[in-house]
């Protein structure tokens, strides 16, 4: 039996609830991971999700900023586990435990919203970029340390487009935060040292261009197509072996009141 996980930076879950419900009706995933929900836990629209058949919610939000939520058709196999990175006070992570078809035991699904990093790719003068690098280093420490024994899946807005084929112009974006060498090298080190497989690239090998984000500043995003792949789905090898498909819902960028990110789905089994 197939099992699907969708990740989506929704850029305010209350503002965009109609298109989230449209996604659930269209794709009917087993699990939906949202980032940048921009609301505290008690203002999350839980009733709408439960009415749609998603009765199990793990929400880690805060007022006006950041926040992540994982919603599921079936019960989590343990209590949700939010983790703090860099002691920033931001709500950027929640972990839930699930049974994946064909995988022994359970998998720990990590829903991340990595800091964007501001505009200047210099940690000495830009505290937001420094925070981003510290956050990634904390992820590296966790996944090569106390989480190394787990069967991990990482999804979410990691705010880095690592490959030249993950951006509309490698040359023009080399000095733009999200594609600078210092970020890319650190993200690649995290992926490799923690033995993760990039499931999106497993399904869509390079050099195919892949994007999951298009700026609101573009007058016609579809025509200019100046996108970046900032959203990711990773897993360890035994889970990656069960992958049967990946989808990127590009059309969602053109929906009414869209997020600047689009949903991505991984199907297992």
Instruction: Give how far Cα 53 sits from Cα of 30, 95, 168, Å.
Output: 10, 21, 38
Q: In this predicted structure, what is the pLDDT of residue 204?
A: 98
Tens-place pLDDT, residues 51-76: 999 999 999 999 999 999 999 999 99
More confident residue, 86 or 115: 115
CA angle, 23 then 28 then 66, to 5°:
50
Q: What is the mean pLDDT of the chain?
A: 96
Residue 251 has pLDDT above 90, yes or no: yes
Q: What is the pTM of this model?
A: 0.97
Question: 169-217: per-residue pLDDT in tens?
Answer: 999 999 999 999 999 999 999 999 999 999 999 999 999 999 999 999 9
Per-residue pLDDT at 1: 82
Cα 3 to Cα 50, 52, 167, 230, distances in angstroms? 19, 18, 29, 23
The fourth-level CATH superfamily of domain 3-268 is: Endonuclease/exonuclease/phosphatase (3.60.10.10)
pLDDT at 169: 98
Those residues with Cβ within 8 angstroms of residue 2's Cβ, 6 or more apart along the chain or in another chain: 101, 244, 267, 268, 269
Domain locations along the chain? 3-268
pLDDT of 87 over the 80 cut: no
Quote the pLDDT of residue 63: 94
Q: Check residue 85 and give its pLDDT.
A: 80
């Amino acid at each position: 039996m197939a099992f699907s996980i969708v990740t989506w930076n929704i850029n305010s879950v209350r503002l965009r609830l109609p298109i989230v419900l449209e996604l659930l009706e269209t794709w009917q995933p087993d699990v939906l991971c949202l980032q940048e929900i921009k609301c505290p836990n008690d203002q999350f629209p839980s009733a709408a999700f439960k009415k749609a058949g998603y009765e199990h919610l793990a929400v880690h939000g805060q007022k006006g900023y950041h926040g992540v939520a994982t919603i599921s058709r079936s019960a989590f196999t343990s209590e949700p586990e939010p983790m703090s990175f860099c002691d920033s006070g931001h709500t950027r992570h929640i972990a839930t435990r699930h049974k994946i078809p064909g995988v022994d035991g359970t998998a720990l699904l990590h829903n991340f919203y990595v800091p964007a990093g501001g505009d200047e790719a210099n940690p000495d003068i830009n505290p937001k970029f420094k925070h981003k690098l510290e956050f990634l280093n904390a992820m590296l420490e966790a996944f090569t340390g106390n989480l190394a024994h787990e069967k991990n899946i990482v999804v979410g807005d990691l705010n880095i487009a690592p490959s030249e084929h993950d951006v509309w112009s490698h040359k023009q974006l080399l000095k733009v935060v999200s594609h600078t060498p210092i970020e890319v090298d650190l993200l690649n080190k995290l992926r490799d040292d923690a033995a993760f497989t990039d499931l999106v690239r497993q399904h869509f090998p390079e050099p195919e261009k892949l994007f999951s984000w298009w700026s609101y500043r573009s007058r016609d995003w579809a025509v200019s197509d100046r996108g970046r792949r900032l959203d990711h789905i990773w897993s360890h090898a035994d889970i990656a072996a069960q992958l049967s498909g990946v989808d990127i819902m590009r059309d969602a960028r053109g929906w009414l009141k869209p997020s600047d990110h689009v949903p991505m789905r991984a199907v297992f089994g």
